[in-house]
């Protein structure tokens, strides 16, 4: 199929989406604008480079019904990103009477997390716009709790860049150790609110600007995962279509946490027009304001009220999700989020232990939050429903903090789901 035919088919598909949305203006007031913008961006940049994302120049329904998976021989580690398995979490499915499916993002091939998709998307778009040029001394700067930095550091080395990562000093030490092994420069900075210049995100931005402004070789590129729309678009064109194809278009709920908001927005923006009755549910840790933003329209958490702010901006042992501001990526799909489930640290720890005990599944803190919220969603919907959630990364990145608190599972074999649901913090 030549390029002209591909563009025509892709345009026809988007036009069909927009026609459908014409009957849903009250439900999706901003969705039409975003789909139009995405169509224009895809028409303007027809790249021949290899990508883990599906080709939107093909007819999506035809392509998605039989996604072939990665080629037998991938082109570098970037060719190993995407097409991750979706599997039935047996213990949770059996206990709830629903089919609870986990999207195994920890099997992505660069940084072994869902952030591989985002990192690759941000780099590719920067290259397409001439911001980054391989082997020129350009440096990628990012403020991250860990996983995005690891993905960026891996891909930076693979594609001919340097990486400089700023992260809060209270994140698990194994993350910064891994970054150093990958050749990144790492700044562990004291936790600070986003309004302060010493916040890890603001520091990364300032360092990128300083390199670009100096006479030193190479550009300083601030990846800006929280506000860069390459984030949600990676999930709109990759994760969402994969889930749709793997489920044959049959699912009742999608559950995910939000740090940057890119995963939940991108997947929702893809799936909702195809499955209008789909329930999109935010999984939110304690201390985050997004739960109240979804449920009550107000960004506020009682633990963050005046005079009670604790050391960390989001007071939780969970890393990677939970925030007290609305980012551009969360904003992109927030009207498609139907409900939210708040998960305490005790509940996340209990769920992580349960998954090891019952399924041999060793996940990180955000994945445990997602699974807990998936169970609550299953119980709310009732037996017979299909729920998909995201297993963002492995527990091996959370040994010194989250799993140190969770402890060893030992010989436990008889934990009941009620024990997980009713878990309480130690006093």
- Burial track 13-34 (b if 16+ CB lie within 10 A, e otherwise): bbeebeeebeeeeeebeebbeb
pLDDT number for residue 152: 97
pLDDT higher than 80, residue 181:
yes
What's the pLDDT tens digit per position in 336-356? 999 999 999 999 999 999 999
Query: Quick one: CA dihedral 307, 311, 314, 317, positive or negative?
Result: negative
pLDDT band at 117 (very low <50, low <70, confident <90, very high): very high
Per-residue model confidence (pLDDT) at position 301: 55
In this structure, the number of other CB atoms found within 10 A of the CB of residue 199 comes to 20
Mean pLDDT calculated for residue range 70-89: 92
The answer to whether 229 and 294 have CB atoms below 8 angstroms apart is: no
CATH architecture label of 114-222: 3-Layer(aba) Sandwich (3.40)
Which residues are within 8 A (CB) of 162 and not within 5 positions of it... i.e. 6 or more apart?
Answer: 137, 138, 139, 140, 156, 183, 184, 185, 218
Q: In this prediction, what percent of the chain has a pLDDT beyond 70?
A: 79
Please tell me which residue, 145 or 19, carries the higher pLDDT value.
145
Examine the pLDDT at 14 and tell me if it is beyond 50. Answer: no
pLDDT tops 50 at residue 173: yes
pLDDT band at residue 69 using 50, 70 and 90 as cut-offs: low
Burial track 247-272 (b if 16+ CB lie within 10 A, e otherwise): beeebbbbbbbbbbbbbbbbbbbbbb
pLDDT, tens digit (0-9, with 9 covering 90-100), for 15-55? 433 433 343 343 444 554 554 455 455 445 444 443 443 33
- Catalytic residue (choose from 103, 115, 272, 334): 115
Sequence-ordered list of residues with C-beta below 8 angstroms from that of 117, at least 6 positions apart, any chain? 52, 53, 81, 82, 108, 234, 235, 238, 239
Identify the band that residue 65 occupies on the pLDDT scale cut at 50, 70 and 90.
very low
**What digits encode the pLDDT tens for the residues 231-261?**
999 999 999 999 999 999 999 999 999 999 9
CA 116, 117, 120, 126 torsion: positive or negative? negative
Tell me, what's the pLDDT at 272?
Answer: 98
Q: Matching CATH topology for 86-109+229-422 and 114-222?
A: yes
* Distance between CA atoms of residues 385 and 202, nearest Å: 43
User: What would the pLDDT profile of 297-319 be if each residue is shown by its tens digit?
Assistant: 987 655 544 444 444 455 899 99
Whole-angstrom distance, CA of residue 359 vs CA of residue 378: 18
**So what's the architecture of 86-109+229-422 in CATH?**
3-Layer(aba) Sandwich (3.40)
SS3 239: helix
Distance separating alpha carbons of residues 364 and 244, to the nearest angstrom: 25
Residue pair 161/132 in contact (Cβ under 8 Å)? The answer is: yes
In degrees and rounded to multiples of 5, residue 169 shows phi and psi of -70, -10
* Catalytic residue status for 115: yes
Ramachandran angles phi, psi of 53, nearest 5°: -80, 150
Answer with the residue of higher pLDDT: 214 or 281: 281
**What does the block give as tokens for 303?**
């633990």
Q: Is the dihedral of CA 16, 30, 232, 387 positive or negative?
A: negative
Average pLDDT, stretch 77-84? 96
Of 153 and 30, more confident: 153
Contact (CB, 8 A) for 156 and 194: no
Q: What is the pLDDT of residue 139?
A: 97
The full set of domain ranges for the chain reads 86-109+229-422, 114-222
Tally Cβ neighbours within 10 Å of residue 426: 7
Burial 311-328 (b: 16+ CB within 10 A, else e): eebbbbbbbbbbbbeebb
Instruction: Tell me which of 69 and 308 has the higher pLDDT.
Output: 69
Which class for 411: exposed (0-12), middle (13-18), buried (19 or more C-beta within 10 A)?
Answer: exposed
Considering only residues 194 and 12, tell me which one the structure prediction assigns the higher pLDDT: 194
């Amino acid at each position: 199929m030549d390029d002209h035919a591909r563009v025509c088919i892709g345009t026809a598909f988007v036009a069909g989406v927009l026609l459908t949305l014409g009957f849903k203006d009250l439900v999706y007031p901003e969705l039409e604008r975003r789909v139009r913008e995405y169509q224009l961006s895809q028409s303007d940049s027809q790249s021949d480079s290899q990508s883990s994302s599906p080709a939107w120049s093909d007819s999506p329904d035809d392509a998605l019904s039989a996604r072939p998976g990665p080629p037998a021989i991938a082109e570098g580690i970037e060719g190993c990103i995407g097409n991750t398995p979706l599997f039935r979490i047996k213990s949770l499915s059996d206990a709830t009477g629903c089919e609870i499916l986990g999207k195994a993002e920890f099997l992505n091939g660069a940084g072994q997390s869902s952030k591989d998709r985002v990192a690759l998307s941000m780099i590719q778009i920067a290259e397409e716009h001439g911001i980054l040029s391989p082997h020129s001394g350009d440096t990628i700067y990012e403020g991250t709790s860990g996983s995005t930095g690891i993905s960026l550091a891996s891909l930076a080395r693979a594609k001919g860049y340097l990486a400089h990562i700023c992260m809060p000093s209270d994140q698990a030490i194994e993350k910064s150790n891994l970054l150093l092994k990958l050749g990144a420069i790492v700044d562990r900075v004291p936790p600070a609110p986003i309004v302060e210049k010493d916040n890890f995100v603001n520091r990364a931005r300032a360092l990128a600007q300083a390199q670009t402004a100096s006479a030193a070789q190479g550009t300083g590129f601030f990846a800006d995962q929280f506000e860069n729309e390459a984030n949600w678009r990676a999930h709109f064109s990759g994760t969402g279509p994969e889930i749709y194809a793997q489920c044959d278009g049959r699912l009742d709920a999608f559950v995910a946490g939000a740090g940057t908001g890119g995963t939940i927005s991108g997947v929702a923006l893809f799936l909702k027009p195809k499955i209008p009755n789909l329930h999109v549910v935010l999984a939110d840790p304690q201390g985050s304001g997004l739960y109240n933003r979804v449920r009550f329209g107000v960004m506020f958490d009682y633990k963050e009220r005046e005079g009670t702010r604790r050391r960390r901006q989001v007071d939780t042992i969970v890393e990677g999700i939970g925030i007290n501001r609305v980012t551009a990526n969360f904003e992109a799909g927030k009207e498609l989020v139907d409900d939210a489930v708040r998960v305490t640290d005790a509940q996340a720890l209990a769920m992580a232990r349960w998954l090891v005990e019952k399924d041999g599944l060793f996940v990180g803190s955000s994945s445990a939050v997602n699974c807990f919220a998936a169970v609550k969603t299953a119980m709310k919907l009732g037996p017979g429903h299909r729920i998909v959630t995201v297993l963002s990364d492995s527990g091996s990145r959370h040994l010194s903090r989250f799993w140190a608190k969770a402890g060893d599972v030992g010989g436990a074999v008889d934990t009941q789901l009620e024990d997980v649901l009713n878990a309480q913090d130690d006093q």
